[in-house]
Amino acid sequence: MKINTQLLRGTIYSKFKSQNEFTKTIGWSQNKIGRILKGEMIPDIEDCNAIVKVLSLSIEEYIQIFLPSLSPNGDEMEGVK
């Protein structure tokens, strides 16, 4: 499973002045968010929950970021509401 790192990055920068400000707010290291945004690390459910809370994500935004494909083989999601 992979996440939409570009959308996550954009959402972080739309709500915070910097990645550093986001990491201080969420209580993570720069390394952790950097690895997530580079696609080197998939956040677990607790990490996803923390991101949702700090960024105040809607259900639709959550799906677009954390569930960008319909299946493990990468089928794209269409019309999910």
> In this predicted model, what pLDDT tens digit does every residue of 16-25 receive, in sequence order?
999 999 999 9
Cα of 44 vs its chain's centroid, Å: 11
Beta strands in the chain (DSSP E): none
Is position 78 within any domain? no
Is position 60 within any domain? yes
Look up the CATH number of the domain holding residue 38.
1.10.260
* Domain containing residue 53: 5-66
Is position 71 within any domain? no
Is position 42 within any domain? yes
Query: What is the sign of the dihedral through the CA atoms of 13, 49, 45 and 65?
Result: negative
> Based on the structure, what is the number of domains in the chain?
1
Please write the tens of the pLDDT for every residue from 27-75: 999 999 999 999 999 999 999 999 999 999 999 999 999 988 765 665 6
Is position 14 within any domain? yes
User: pTM for the full model?
Assistant: 0.82
CB 57 within 8 A of CB 47: no
Is position 59 within any domain? yes
**What is d(CA 61, CA 59) in angstroms, rounded to the nearest whole number?**
5
